[in-house]
Amino acid sequence: MKRKFFTNLVLLLAVNLLVKSFWLFGIDRTVQNVTGVEVYGMYYSLFMLAATLNILLDMGITNYNNRNISRYNQLLPKHLGNILGIKILLAFVYAAVCLGWGFIVGYDKVQFHILAFLIINQFLLQLILYLRSNLQALHLFTTDSLVSVLDRIFMIVFCGMLLFTNVTNGVFKIEWFVYVQTISYILAAIIVLLLVLKKSGKITLRFNLHFSLVFLKKTYPYAILILLMSFYNRFDTVLIERLLPQGVGDLQVGLYAHGFRLLEAVSMFGVLFAGMLLPIFSRMIKMRENINEMVVFSFSLIIFISITIATSSFFYNTEIMQWMQYNYVAESAPIFSVLMFGFIPIATTYIFGTLLTANGSIRQLNIMAAVGMVLNITLNLIVIPRYQALGAAFVSLVTQTVTALAQVLIAAKIFHFKPRWAYIFRVLAFVAIVVVAAHLSKRIATPLLGYTALLVVSVVGAFVVRLIDLRKLYELLLRKE
């Protein structure tokens, strides 16, 4: 199982790194710079509102479906048509809530127009994620790896035409960015649906009230979990925009977005890990297989990545903001570095939170997430009016750390994990190597060369302290399962 996980993970990471890096650095960055911090900040605040409430589109269906179909493949044809019917109904509920929020807080005509298309985009995105969960549950990881970047490929093509050709005579509006997303999601959804139908066979789209009530009763704990986590992961940008004076709020959201967009990009690693680990953990738990080594193996890979990225982002925060060609570099850099340290607990959550989800330990996760939400919102209400976006970044780091530690402790209690002191020492030794290397790399005259040297030393250091055992990795790749 470890070999299957690792080989497919490498493919998934390679495909996503290639496409999504081009999207982030070539397209999204350019859109931010062309439209300006305030305009992009307005768009991003609306986007985060739509993203925070998108659990109403899913109600925990995707995670539950991934776990359930991975255990009972034969249920796919029966569930697919019914769940698609539920999805359409939930779309109307979601739209009503989002637009209702807009009326309550007093959005203007432009904001409502953008929000309407963001609502459509979130519906399409959640539809794609649900359809992909069936591919993951069937362990079709290679197929899922390829379709995971379809929407971004379409966006790169269409946005590239608007940004880098004379089609628009050098003009670019934030609305066009939203329209391109809509078109791209539609095309990607059609392709993924056809792939799933190939596995399920012919289905009938329908809404069965009894099935829907029974199914949603099973999935609502997952929905509550995702909603609570969305609030302490994403709602901070909405609070920044609402708690600060008009104009100042949009600017601070724009500065926050400079760092948060990069955090979202690197969090892709965790999302990819979780997408593959959920069906793997679910099947292993069902078959009563020992999961200890799988947990350690996956955690070692992601903690190596997260520590490297967080440390390098702290030491090279200004340089990275400059390489992104952002405005307000001096203001964005400290916010960015604080946010990126949050990637370490976020990465931890993607391993242990996924394990607990696979085990069905949703009650414990919901209690943890509720505490995290209350902590995050309470601290933000106190901190944002005084420290603005930087304060929100520190609150995010505190919240992520507290919730990650809680998940580790819950998992340790349920699965009877014992402390591996030798392993903990290797992790700490790796941290020391990366920090020392970062200090020394700053003495190199060329920042890009210093940053590259730091990354190289980090990779070598992971093998030296055996955080990643090169011999076992070699044996893993050669062994046939």
Q: What are phi and psi of 201, to 5 degrees?
A: 85, -175
Q: Is residue 458 scored above 50 in pLDDT?
A: yes
Residue 200: Cβ within 10 Å count? 17
Distance CA 255, CA 40 (A): 10
Distance CA 298, CA 468 (A): 10
Average pLDDT, integer, range 91-99: 92
- pLDDT band for position 402 (cuts 50, 70, 90): very high
Give the model's pLDDT for residue 12.
Answer: 67
Q: pLDDT of 246-271, one tens digit each?
A: 778 878 888 888 888 788 878 877 77
Residue 477 CA neighbour count, 13 Å, CB half: 9
Q: Find the range with the poorest average confidence among 23-37, 225-239, 251-265.
A: 225-239
Cα–Cα distances (Å) from 185 to 122, 189, 276, in that order, read 9, 6, 22
Distance CA 317, CA 447 (A): 11
Q: Find the range with the poorest average confidence among 345-349, 358-362, 377-381.
A: 358-362
Helix (H) or strand (E) holding 201: none
Distance CA 340, CA 315 (A): 11
The greatest distance separating any two alpha carbons of the chain, rounded to the nearest whole angstrom, comes to 68
Q: Are 149 and 191 in contact (CB under 8 A)?
A: no
- Structure tokens of 322? 């400059």
Q: Are 285 and 411 in contact (CB under 8 A)?
A: no
Q: pLDDT of 111-159, one tens digit each?
A: 999 999 999 999 999 899 888 888 877 777 777 777 888 888 999 999 9
Distance CA 40, CA 49 (A): 14
Q: Find the range with the poorest average confidence among 84-93, 269-278, 357-366.
A: 269-278
Q: Is residue 230 scored above 80 in pLDDT?
A: no
Q: Residue 245 in 3-state DSSP?
A: coil
Q: Which of 382, 321, 370, 372 is nearest to 345 (CA)?
A: 372
How far is CA 451 from its chain centroid?
25
Cα–Cα distances (Å) from 161 to 155, 167, 324, in that order, read 10, 7, 20
Residue 14: Cβ within 10 Å count? 11
Per domain, the residue ranges of the chain are 2-418, 424-481
Q: Residue 372 in 3-state DSSP?
A: helix
- pLDDT band for position 9 (cuts 50, 70, 90): low
Give the model's pLDDT for residue 456.
Answer: 94
Q: Are 19 and 156 in contact (CB under 8 A)?
A: yes
Mean pLDDT estimate for the chain: 84
Q: Are 282 and 345 in contact (CB under 8 A)?
A: no
Residue of higher predicted confidence among 222 and 418: 418
Q: Are 263 and 422 in contact (CB under 8 A)?
A: no
Give the model's pLDDT for residue 10.
Answer: 67
- pLDDT band for position 470 (cuts 50, 70, 90): low
Q: pLDDT of 33-60, one tens digit each?
A: 888 878 888 888 888 888 878 878 877 7
| Cβ-Cβ contacts under 8 Å for 123 (sequence gap 6 or more) | 57, 87, 91, 94
Residue of higher predicted confidence among 394 and 469: 394
Give the model's pLDDT for residue 346.
Answer: 92
Q: Which of 468, 473, 476, 478 is nearest to 301 (CA)?
A: 468
Give the model's pLDDT for residue 481.
Answer: 47
Average pLDDT, integer, range 396-419: 92
- pLDDT band for position 83 (cuts 50, 70, 90): confident
Helix (H) or strand (E) holding 294: helix 292-315
- Structure tokens of 421? 């002191």
Instruction: Supply angle C-alpha 439, 260, 370, rounded to 5.
Output: 110
Q: Is residue 477 scored above 60 in pLDDT?
A: no
Q: Is residue 479 scored above 60 in pLDDT?
A: no
Q: Are 233 and 392 in contact (CB under 8 A)?
A: no
Cα–Cα distances (Å) from 473 to 76, 161, 210, 274, in that order, read 35, 43, 49, 20
pTM (two decimals):
0.73
End-to-end CA distance of the chain: 8
Residue 399 CA neighbour count, 13 Å, CB half: 28
Give the model's pLDDT for residue 334.
Answer: 93
Average pLDDT, integer, range 417-433: 92
Residue of higher predicted confidence among 271 and 316: 316
For 108-169, the three-class secondary structure string (H helix, E strand, C coil) is: CHHHHHHHHHHHHHHHHHHHHHHHHHHHHHCCCHHHHHHHCCHHHHHHHHHHHHHHHCCCCC
Distance CA 87, CA 77 (A): 16
